[in-house]
Amino acid sequence: MKIVVLVKHVPDAAGDRSFSGDTTTDRAAVDGRLSELDEYAVEQALQVVEKAGEGEITFLTMGPEAASEALRKALSMGGDAGVHVVDDALHGSDAIATSLVLAAAVRRLEPDVVICGMASTDGTMSVVPAMLAERLGLTGLTLAASLTIEGNTVTIRRDSDEASTTITGSLPALISVTDQTGEARYPSFKGIMAAKKKPVETLTLADLGIDPAQVGLGAAWSAVDNIAKRPARQAGTIVTDEGDGGVKLADFLAAGKFI
Amino acid sequence: MDFVPNDEQRAIVETVRAFVETELYPHEDLVEQLDDVPKELAAEIQTKAINAGLYAANMPEELGGGGLNAVGVALAEREFGRASYALQMLVARPSNILQACTGDQIEEYLLPSIRGERHDCLAMTEPGAGSDVRSMTTKAERHGDDWIINGGKHFISHADVSDFVILFATTGVDETPRGPKKRISGFLVDMGLPGFEVRRGSSCVSHRGYHQCELLFDNVRIPGYKLLGEEGRGFDLMGDWLGATRLTVAATSVGRSQRVLETALSWAANRKQFGQPIGNFQGVGFQLADCEVAVDAADLLTLRAADRIDKGTYVDADAAKAKLFASETLAKVTDTAVQVFGGMGLMSETPIERWWRDARVERIWDGTSEIQRHIINRSQMKPLGA
pLDDT tens column, A192-214: 999 989 999 999 999 999 999 99
Q: Residue B358 — pLDDT band, cuts 50, 70, 90?
A: very high
| Model pLDDT, residue B244 | 77
| Model pLDDT, residue A32 | 86
pLDDT tens per residue, range A162-196: 999 999 999 999 999 999 999 999 999 999 999 98
β-bridge pairing B212-223 and B196-200:
antiparallel
pLDDT of A37 over the 90 cut: yes
**A12 contacts chain B (CB < 8 A):** no
Residue from A183, A192, A200 to probe the interface with B (highest B Cβ count within 10 Å): A192
Domains B120-232 and B236-384 share a fold: no
Instruction: Kindly report the pTM of this predicted structure.
Output: 0.87
| Model pLDDT, residue A28 | 79
Point out the residue among B8, B19, B51 whose CB comes nearest to the CB of A192: B8
**A193 contacts chain B (CB < 8 A):** yes
A72–B7 CB contact, under 8 Å: yes
Give the C-alpha distances (Å, rounded to integers) separating B111 from A86, B34, B102: 45, 32, 11
| Model pLDDT, residue A44 | 97
CATH 1.10.8.100 fits B7-93, yes or no: no
pLDDT of A73 over the 80 cut: yes
Cβ-Cβ contacts under 8 Å, B11 against chain A: 72-73, 76, 187, 192, 195
For residues A218-222, give the mean pLDDT: 91
Q: Of B54, B227, B89, whose CA–CA distance to B161 is shortest?
A: B89
* Average pLDDT in chain A: 93
For residues B69-89, give the mean pLDDT: 96
pLDDT tens per residue, range B193-220: 999 999 999 999 999 999 999 999 999 9
pLDDT of B351 over the 90 cut: yes
ipTM: 0.84
pLDDT of B309 over the 90 cut: yes
| Model pLDDT, residue A137 | 96
Q: What is the DSSP string of A10-48?
A: EE-TTS---B-TTSSB-SSSS-EEE-HHHHHHHHHHHHH
pLDDT of A21 over the 90 cut: no
For residues A240-245, give the mean pLDDT: 90
| Model pLDDT, residue A12 | 85
pLDDT of A15 over the 90 cut: no
pLDDT of A114 over the 90 cut: yes
For residues B80-109, give the mean pLDDT: 95
| CATH superfamily, with its number, for domain B120-232 | Butyryl-CoA Dehydrogenase, subunit A, domain 2 (2.40.110.10)
| Model pLDDT, residue B327 | 98
For residue B218, the Cα-to-chain-centroid distance in whole angstroms is: 28
- Asked, as a colleague might, if the bond just before A172 is cis with ω within 30 of 0, I would say yes
For residues B181-187, give the mean pLDDT: 95
Asked if B174 and B183 touch (Cβ cutoff 8 Å), the reply is yes
| HEC secondary structure over chain B | CCCCCCHHHHHHHHHHHHHHHHHHHHHHHHHHHHCCCCHHHHHHHHHHHHHCCCCCCCCCHHHCCCCCCHHHHHHHHHHHCCCCHHHHCCCCCCCHHHHHCCCHHHHHHHHHHHHCCCCEEEECCECCECCCHHHCCCEEEEECCEEEEEEEEEEEECHHHCCEEEEEEEEEEEEECCEEEEEEEEEEEECCCCCEEEEECCCCCCCCCCCEEEEEEEEEEEEHHHEECCCCCHHHHHHHHCHHHHHHHHHHHHHHHHHHHHHHHHHHHHCEECCEEHHHCHHHHHHHHHHHHHHHHHHHHHHHHHHHHHHCCCCHHHHHHHHHHHHHHHHHHHHHHHHHHHHHHHCCCCCHHHHHHHHHHHHCCCCCHHHHHHHHHHHHHHHHCC
- Name the residue in chain B with its Cα closest to that of A192: B8
- Name the residue in chain A with its Cα closest to that of B50: A188
pLDDT of B243 over the 80 cut: no
Give the C-alpha distances (Å, rounded to integers) separating B169 from B144, B152, B233: 18, 10, 11
Using N-to-C axis directions, what is the helix angle for B7-19 and B70-80, rounded to 10°?
30
For residues A9-26, give the mean pLDDT: 83
CATH C-level class of A2-219: alpha beta
Q: Residue A240 — pLDDT band, cuts 50, 70, 90?
A: confident
pLDDT tens per residue, range B141-174: 999 999 999 999 999 999 999 999 999 999 999 9
A186–B52 CB contact, under 8 Å: yes
Amino acid in the structure at residue B320: A
Cβ-Cβ contacts under 8 Å, B266 against chain A: none
| Model pLDDT, residue B32 | 95
Amino acid in the structure at residue A196: K
* Average pLDDT in chain B: 95
| Model pLDDT, residue A238 | 84
| Model pLDDT, residue B95 | 93
pLDDT of B109 over the 90 cut: yes
CATH architecture of residue range(s) B236-384: Up-down Bundle (1.20)
Distance of residue A85 Cα from the nearest chain B Cα, in angstroms: 19
Does residue A126 come out as left (phi exceeding 0), alpha (psi in the -120 to 50 range) or beta? left
For residues A138-159, give the mean pLDDT: 96
For residues A102-128, give the mean pLDDT: 93
Share of chain B above pLDDT 70, in %: 100
| Model pLDDT, residue A256 | 86
Cβ-Cβ contacts under 8 Å, A191 against chain B: 53
Domain boundaries, chain B: 7-93, 120-232, 236-384
pLDDT of B75 over the 80 cut: yes
